[in-house]
Chain A
Amino acid sequence: MKWPLLDRIGLLLVVAALAVSWDSQATAQTKAASTPAPSPSNFTDRKSLGSKNAPITIEVFSDFQCPACRNFYETTLKQLIDNYVNTGKVYLVHRDFPLDMHPYSHQAARFANAAAELGQFESVERALFDKQDTWAPNGKIDDAISSTIPPAQLKKIHDVETQHLNEINAAIERDRTMGIQRNVNQTPTVYVTAHGKTEGLPGGGVDYQLLKKYLDFLLRQ
């Protein structure tokens, strides 16, 4: 059987097109496999500030919609970050403990975790607490924090949130479970680990001056 030249060229083109199509699919699959979904432990690392090698680790079980957490953030944590975290003395770990009594705290936690995935946890945490009064009554987080987080960045964060929703929910649940295991019954609850020992501080937040004295005592030991 003899094929006309044009038929042969056509067949070659079809085969080439199929080959290119198969190759691009394989490349896409390879790319997807090389960028795995973030694991819950990745989220914890990305929600932490400071050096892991700091002599003191402070874990804060917190709820973005809880007024006491905002107060603790504004009056204690900001100074702690400036004076102890940024100077390498404290490794500060955020643990999500969204309370069921707050209707938008899960939403805020998901948003903060997505921001963490983009390396923007610190700025988003600050924005969420600074603007808590604005978004807490209606859950309109974007509107409330758009003055500090640019719209393009908000979109990126929401894209990550949508893309990794299951992983983000798992990370939040993991923090919550850890809190329940440690008998956390209010937010904020703070744990301080130094010299191999972990101590729970009284729940509901701690005055910065008192925390400072305790941290200085630990650092002197």
Chain B
Amino acid sequence: MASSTVVSQTSPRPGALPRTLLVLGRVALGSVFLYAAYAKLHFDGAWHLSDYHFFFAMMIDSYHILPLWGVQGMAQVLPWFELALGALLISGLALRWVGAATSGLLLVFIGAMVRAKMLGLEINCGCFGNNEKLGALTILRDSSLLVLALAVAIGAFILEKHKATASS
């Protein structure tokens, strides 16, 4: 907090447009992740806090990548991880690392989707609930989100470096 005060007093602020774009980008990306978590926990008109992982595990398993224990573990954890990422992105806390983690997660998702398409698996994406079939548009959408996540992460790193340089 103290260093940011110093920056604002001793160096020119980074351009307003990049900062605004960064805020918009992280809020948009955070909202998408919050919605992804919500769709895994609330579907068919009701909350599924006690049994969401059964449904999500079935979706993860349809990718034929992980063993059963991995499928179940991921199904338990992933919605909450997405929720945390979404909240952190919107709040802007630890943005460099959150942006990097989000990029990494999206990269894993895209890899799994491309693999499924290459294997000819006719499955649902599992991204936002039950009924979205995995297709080229799904991969395109997640790729766009990856570009956005990378932009947010890189932007946050540049901003931080700029602050550090200015403060030194």
Which residues does A use to contact B, with CB under 8 Å? 68, 183, 185-186, 197, 199-207, 209-211, 213-214, 217
- Across the interface, A202 reaches (CB within 8 A) one of B44, B46, B55, B121, namely B55
- Across the interface, B51 reaches (CB within 8 A) one of A202, A203, A205, A217, namely A217
- Across the interface, B130 reaches (CB within 8 A) one of A202, A206, A209, A217, namely A202
Contacts A186-B122, A210-B54, A217-B51 aside, 4 further interface pairs with beta carbons under 8 A come to A185-B131, A202-B62, A204-B62, A213-B72
Q: In the bound complex, do residue A183 and residue B55 qualify as a contact, i.e. CB atoms below 8 Å apart?
A: no
With an 8 A cutoff between CB atoms, is B59 at the interface?
yes
Known: A200-B130, A204-B122. A210 touches B51 (CB 8 A): no
**Taking the nearest CB of chain B, how far is it from the CB of A40, in angstroms?**
27
- Across the interface, B122 reaches (CB within 8 A) one of A68, A197, A206, namely A68
With an 8 A cutoff between CB atoms, is B42 at the interface?
no
Q: In the bound complex, do residue A203 and residue B55 qualify as a contact, i.e. CB atoms below 8 Å apart?
A: no
Give Cα A183–Cα B131 distance, bound, in whole angstroms.
Answer: 9
Q: In the bound complex, do residue A210 and residue B131 qualify as a contact, i.e. CB atoms below 8 Å apart?
A: no
Chain A residue with minimal CB distance to B50? A217
With an 8 A cutoff between CB atoms, is B123 at the interface?
yes
Q: In the bound complex, do residue A201 and residue B131 qualify as a contact, i.e. CB atoms below 8 Å apart?
A: no
Which of B46, B54, B57 has the largest number of chain A CB atoms within 10 A? B54
Contacts of A213 in B (CB 8 A): 54, 72
With an 8 A cutoff between CB atoms, is B141 at the interface?
no
With an 8 A cutoff between CB atoms, is B71 at the interface?
yes
Give Cα A206–Cα B72 distance, bound, in whole angstroms.
Answer: 14
Give Cα A214–Cα B61 distance, bound, in whole angstroms.
Answer: 14
With an 8 A cutoff between CB atoms, is B58 at the interface?
yes
**Taking the nearest CB of chain A, how far is it from the CB of B129, in angstroms?**
10
Q: In the bound complex, do residue A202 and residue B122 qualify as a contact, i.e. CB atoms below 8 Å apart?
A: no
- Across the interface, B59 reaches (CB within 8 A) one of A186, A202, A209, A214, namely A202
Q: In the bound complex, do residue B57 and residue A210 qualify as a contact, i.e. CB atoms below 8 Å apart?
A: yes
With an 8 A cutoff between CB atoms, is B126 at the interface?
yes
Q: In the bound complex, do residue B133 and residue A210 qualify as a contact, i.e. CB atoms below 8 Å apart?
A: no
With an 8 A cutoff between CB atoms, is B143 at the interface?
no
With an 8 A cutoff between CB atoms, is B124 at the interface?
yes
With an 8 A cutoff between CB atoms, is B68 at the interface?
yes
**Taking the nearest CB of chain B, how far is it from the CB of A59, in angstroms?**
15
**Taking the nearest CB of chain B, how far is it from the CB of A201, in angstroms?**
6
Chain B residue with minimal CB distance to A215? B54
